[in-house]
Each structure stands twice: as C-alpha cells, then as structure tokens.
Amino acid sequence: MSDLPASIAVYYHQRTKYDPQTIATKNKGLDWSKQPIPFKEYKIGKSYELITYSSKESPFTSHSSYWQRLSRLCGCSYGLTAKVPTIGSPIYLRATPSAGGLYPAEVYLISKGTSWLPAGLYSYQPQNHSLLHFWDNDVWDNLKKACLSHQALENSELAIVTTAIFYRSSWRYEDRAYRRICLDTGHLLGNIELACAMTNYRPHLIGGFIDNVLNKIFYFNSKEEGVTSVIALSDLTYNNKNLEDIGPTAVPSIIKTNYSEVSDGELLGYFHQATEIQESDINKVQKIVSQKSIVEDKYNFPFCLKVSTSTTPIVWGSDFSLLEKTIFKRRSTRAYTGEELTLDELKALLHFTYQSQDYVHQGFDSNPDYFDISLIETFIAVSGVEGLESGCYYYAPKAQELRQIRFKNFRKELHYLCLGQNLGRDAGAIIFHTTELKKAIEKYGDRVYRYLHLDAGHLGQKINLAAIHLQLGVSGIGGFFDDQVNEVLGIPEDEVVIYITTIGRPRYQSIN
C-alpha cells in the first residue's frame, strides 16, 4: 500500500461514495424549475451548415470532400440521433450515452486556418448539425502554448476541444457528478476515435494543458465550464506518416494534500480547479512527464480457471457502414429479460474493445490514444453466460483470457450494489473498470482522476457499440455502493471501482 497522504483526489473519491446508510439523506429531490438546457447557444456568429453535406447527394465544390468528412465526423461523434416527444419540451438523443440524458459535454473545433475553413473558434451545434464560427481570430499559437507545445499540433490544422458544463450534471447528481461528467466525455472520446477512422483523420489525444490559458481562449467562466480534452486531428489524406508517439497524452499535475474542508455542493468545482495545471507549475510538470509503463496482466493464479477470449473480429462493413448505423441506433437499455448470453458474444465485445490491433485491416487505428489505459483493470461478474461458470473473472487483455477469481452467482448482491436497479440483477454479465487510485496519483498527480474516468468511458463506449451491433442490451451505471463492489468482486480496498457496464438480453430500450 502506498504511504502517500490523502490527496484531494482521494478525498473527493471518498467523499462522493454512495453508502447504504447515507444515500437516502443525500437525495434532496430535484428542482425541476432549474433543469438545465442541454444545448449551448450563441447570439452572434457565422453558421456553417453541415447538414448540407450529410448525404451522397450533397453539392459538389472544390472543398466538398472536406465538408463531407467533417459532417460525418461531428455527426458520428455527438450528433442527434432521435427526437422523443414529451409533455413538455422534446428530448433529443445523441450519438453518445449520458447519465440522466443531461449531456454535460460540449464540442468545439479550432481551425489553424485552411483554404476551406477560416481560422478561429467553432462551436458544434448538434440541434441543427452545424458549426458556429463565433471567434475569428487566430488562436492556434495560444492553443499550442496551452498544450505545452505538443508536437501533434505541429502536424495538424484542426483540433477538437471537449468541455464540460458542470451544472448540467450537478443539478441531478450533485458533487458526484464530476465522475459522470468525465465518463460521459469518455463516451464522446470513444466516438471521436471511431469517427476519425471513418473520415481519414488520426486523432491525437492531449490531456496535459494549462487550464486557465484554454479557458481564456474560449472566454469561459471557469466555475461554470472547463476544458476536459484536446484532440489534434492529423489529416491522413495527405499525411500518411506514422504519427504515433509524438507526444504524451497524459501529463501529471501537482499532488494537493493541503486543502480546505468544502461544503456539499461546492466540492465538484473545487476539485476540478484543484486538478488544473497552472502556468507556475510548467517547469515542474515538464520535468516529470510520465511515460506509459508496460504492465503485465494481473491476477494470474496458477490453479484458477482460465478461458480464452481469442475470437474473430467483428466485421463493420465497407466504409464503416455497419459501425455508423450502430452509432446512430445505439440506446441505453433499461430492462433485461434475464436470459443468458453466449460466450461467443462476450468474447466478441471484449475483443472489439481491447484488441484494436486486429481491426487494422478494416481501417481502424491499431493503437488508439488513451490517457493511460495501463492503469485500468477489468473484472467481469458473470451471472448468465452459456458455457461459462458463474462467478467473478479478471480479464487479461494481453493474454486474451478470463481468469476466474470467485465462484458464485452474485445476482442478489449485484442487484443491491447497483442501488437496487434490476439491471444489476438481470444482466448476463457486468463489466467493472477499476484502478489502484493511490498508485495512479503517484504517477500523474490528482489530475489522474480525470484521466481514469475519461479512459473508462472511452472503453465503455466501445463496449456499448459492440453490444448493440450484437443485438444485446447494454447500460452503463455510474451510481453504485462503492465499497460493496469491492466485497463482491473480492478485490482489495485500494482497487477502486470507476465504472460499471451491464450486458444482457434487452426487454426494451431507454431514452439516453
């Protein structure tokens, strides 16, 4: 166990745990008069309608191919997928799942200045599938400064910036909302990775940046909205060089062990600001940029049951047609039948999520960017998988095998720890992403809490899409009794649970 004093990330995690004894007192009910609007509007700016380039019949111009690619990239990343009528305002569904359908993430585009897209800042407007050019000054140099002169920006003319509007999630989930915000943004990063493969871009993920410099570029009120990631886009139509490993995706922040007692409702904003990289920290940060370590699979007990997960890749169709169709029909499942899954189905979704190297021949990136996926472990609670004994398994991605670590059917316990949601009881398999939080903090500082949840959401989105393609039901769960999960899985307290994804036979779909 690490001797590291409790840092702000450990404090935040402990403080936002759900506990059976206190969860009822924390549920204050929702003030529906203050329900947030999930779209951001601007009073001024020039609109570029991407909807014009969404079909094969789009008008031909000298730059139409660029606009067609950008339209597909934005639409498959965060576009609207359905409109659900309600008594009040209709609910608009998007290409990514979001806890409570609150969609805290915003997507912006920064152009260096091209022959077809003027320099400046653009907001992606999903409600009408357009780009709003709301600031026309050249900000690329400031972007590079904020990103510590990341080399990927030297090879790019476009960059995507994801942000979070904190109140959209905190309205419902209060201080624990920061976890869900990062998970939701991770879903978005998963879509961006795949949409870039569809459109001949190589996305370079950047998580190490000076927060206040980026906030100033966008004129954000940092208490209301903050940047969560930057993605430099290398255009592969004219740059076919191997542009991997051209800069770190994750950069450490300081470890903050001296912090104030914060009242309920203020912790989320306090924690986000505490994990920022400051200009005064640049020299310290640049000296301790971490390299991703090669970590062996864990839990390799000599006599445990081991089941190979090696399988043939999912086929996503020519020009990613089946993947695009899956993105637009993805929904979170709200009820399962309790029927069994097959082992082949479980193997297929694990394979697509973790074995990217086997999808190169279909046009996917063999080594997509994460912040540091070596920090995340995967466990699977099996309740109903044909051909697989019930129990808890560790998934070893390098060996491509499941290793059984507990022997029991946990349906009753899973129902309880998922806050009594029937999804936990009726799922055939539940995937848990965990991490040794204190060791992760030693490597990347308190900012690692962002990285971990963004990566877990990224993995979760690939699980989502594989499950929907296989005609399974899938739903992520960000609300659970934290400590009870460790008891069920039989893992140490230091291994904290980040995210839960349930898989089962769908009874009907949800609206997020």
Question: What are the DSSP calls for 344-364, one per residue?
Answer: HHHHHHHHHHH-GGGGGGGT-
> Domain map of the chain by residue range?
45-247+253-287, 306-509
What pLDDT, on the 0 to 100 scale, is given for residue 295?
66
Is beta strand 385-386 parallel, antiparallel or unpaired with respect to 341-342? parallel
SS3 of 46-104: EEEEHHHHCCCCCCCCCCHHHHHHHHHHHHHHHCEEEEECCCCCCEEEECCCCHHHCCC
Question: Band of the pLDDT at 69, cuts 50, 70, 90?
Answer: very high
500 and 477 in contact (C-beta within 8 Å)? yes
Q: How far apart are CA 117 and CA 113, in angstroms?
A: 6
* C-alpha closest to that of 173 among 23, 340, 283: 23
Catalogue the E-assigned strands of 69-208: 80-84, 91-94, 105-111, 120-125, 130-135, 158-165, 201-206
What pLDDT, on the 0 to 100 scale, is given for residue 1?
38
What pLDDT, on the 0 to 100 scale, is given for residue 61?
67
Q: Is 413 left (phi over 0), alpha (psi -120 to 50) or beta?
A: alpha
- Angle between helical axes of 448-469 and 177-198 (0-180°, round to 10): 60
Residues ≥6 apart with Cβ < 8 Å to 234: 152, 155, 156, 201, 202, 203, 204, 243
Question: Band of the pLDDT at 302, cuts 50, 70, 90?
Answer: confident
Question: Band of the pLDDT at 2, cuts 50, 70, 90?
Answer: very low
Q: How far apart are CA 227 and CA 220, in angstroms?
A: 9
Q: How many other C-beta atoms lie within 10 A of the C-beta of residue 293?
A: 9
Q: Select 306-509's CATH number: 3.40.109.10, 3.40.50.920, 2.40.50.140, 3.30.420.40.
A: 3.40.109.10
- Angle between helical axes of 177-198 and 64-78 (0-180°, round to 10): 150
Is beta strand 429-436 parallel, antiparallel or unpaired with respect to 495-504? antiparallel
Distance of CA 383 to the CA centre of its chain: 26
- Radius of gyration of the chain from Cα atoms? 22
Same fold yes or no, 45-247+253-287 and 306-509: yes
253 and 444 in contact (C-beta within 8 Å)? yes
Alpha carbon dihedral 476, 463, 437, 21, in 10-degree steps, equals: 20
- Per-residue pLDDT tens over the stretch 193-231: 999 999 999 999 999 999 999 999 999 999 999 999 999
Rounded average pLDDT over 289-309: 76
CATH architecture for residues 45-247+253-287: 3-Layer(aba) Sandwich (3.40)
Distance of CA 97 to the CA centre of its chain: 10
- 4-13, 59-68, 110-119, 288-297: lowest mean pLDDT where? 288-297
Q: Over 80: is that where the pLDDT of 286 sits?
A: no
* C-alpha closest to that of 196 among 69, 106, 56, 361: 69
- Per-residue pLDDT tens over the stretch 158-175: 999 999 999 999 999 999
The predicted model scores a pTM of 0.95
Mean pLDDT of the chain: 91
